[in-house]
Amino acid sequence: MCDCCKSGHDWMGHRAALILGGNIEKMVPKSIKTEKIREWSNEYRVIQPDAVRGMVASMMSGGQLQPVILQKQEDGYNIIDGTKRYRAALELGVEELEALVFEVDMAMAKAMIIHYNRYNSSLSMYEQGLIVSSLVREHKMGQKEVSRLLRQSHSWVCRRLAMIERLLPEVQDEIRMGSISVSHGRELVKLPRGNQRGALAAVVKEGLSSRECAIVVDRLLKSKDNQDTEYIYKHSREVIRAVVQKDKYYDSRLSDHGNKLLKAREILRLQVNIMSGILQSFQTQKLGAEENDILIPGLKELLSPMCRLLETIKQLKHYEG
């Protein structure tokens, strides 16, 4: 230990600089039996089954391309990075994995999870937040200490800690179970905790995408009162449709079929006006005989469906001519 870092957290920061920014590439991988490896970092990761299946296919065709990163324990090894490779190895019956092994404490191991996923974007903001929260709560570290350990800005640490503190436990449970994505969580955290439960229920019930969730969240943030909020919860699809269509072709008083009819009517009205304007143009009068021979028969063919449309309209239940 150098003279400048005799105290606990200073020494931790010094070790972080050595390990997280040091000569890791010079280490030689070791063969470690799969049975001795544990998925210790599960509570900080959200592993999707599709990602594991992709890793299985990769390892079947090309073998293990990168070593897993392990923390040495008295009775085995904890995974710091490489959970998908480990799960794929179990599925393929691989008995040994190439690994880089570190003898570090738990706080450093958690910091290394973030380090090893710094550039490949495989660690979401939510997962980063779980690690930051753990360092603050379990290891009693201040935010500035966490910032130094992770080699990130203080604002980076604050944003991730705030996400975990503001997300309802129910929302976090749904993320871990895979019912909603981390992207959904990023949207729901924008809401006050009192609104998150209702919004979550709408997302799960309607199977909303993260983009649709963002629309619902935005509308909730702009809602005027509790009645408006409850309407958004219960009619999230209608709210989304109105925003996506953004237009005069939607009326909240109408059913889905009613809105289809409204949209078809307005589009037809627009096209009829366009056609009428073109037909009355002086340029239409200047068309030659050959062009008229091509166009006029098709225009005449429009008369029959237009007459049928008129008769159909007259037959509507409440039509008054």
Task: Dump pLDDT digits (tens) for 52-85.
Answer: 888 898 888 888 888 888 989 888 999 988 888 8
Number of helical (H) and strand (E) elements in the chain, helices listed first? 17, 5
User: What are the φ/ψ torsions at residue 145 (nearest 5 degrees)?
Assistant: -65, -40
- pLDDT tens digits, 108-138: 999 988 888 877 667 788 889 999 999 999 9
11: confidence class by pLDDT, cuts 50, 70, 90: very low
Lookup result for tokens 């009326």: 251
Residue 201 has pLDDT above 90, yes or no: yes
Out of 17-21, 42-46, 180-184, the most confident range is 180-184
- Gap between the Cα atoms of 144 and 111, Å rounded: 14
What is the pLDDT averaged over residues 229-251?
80
Q: Which two tokens stand for residue 37?
A: 């490896």
CATH 3.90.1530.10 matches 28-103: yes
- Gap between the Cα atoms of 91 and 81, Å rounded: 18
Please give the pLDDT value at position 8.
43
Residue 2 has pLDDT above 70, yes or no: no
Q: Starting at the earlier edge strand, list the strands of the sheet with 37-38.
A: 30-33, 96-102, 68-73, 76-81, 37-38
| Percent of residues in the chain assigned helix, strand, coil, to nearest 5 | 65, 10, 25
- pLDDT tens digits, 137-180: 999 999 999 998 888 899 999 999 998 999 999 999 888 888 88
pTM score, whole prediction:
0.61
- Gap between the Cα atoms of 52 and 65, Å rounded: 15
Residue 243 and residue 213 in contact, taking contact as beta carbons nearer than 8 Å: no
247: confidence class by pLDDT, cuts 50, 70, 90: low
Q: List CB contacts of 64: < 8 A, sequence separation 6 or more.
A: 85, 89, 94, 97, 98
Please give the pLDDT value at position 10.
47
Percent with pLDDT over 90 in the chain:
28
What are the extents of the domains in the chain? 28-103, 107-166, 169-245, 287-321
H or E segment and range at residue 68 = strand 68-73
- Gap between the Cα atoms of 64 and 96, Å rounded: 10
Please give the pLDDT value at position 245.
67
Q: Which two tokens stand for residue 122?
A: 């495989």
Sign of CA dihedral 2, 6, 12, 14: negative
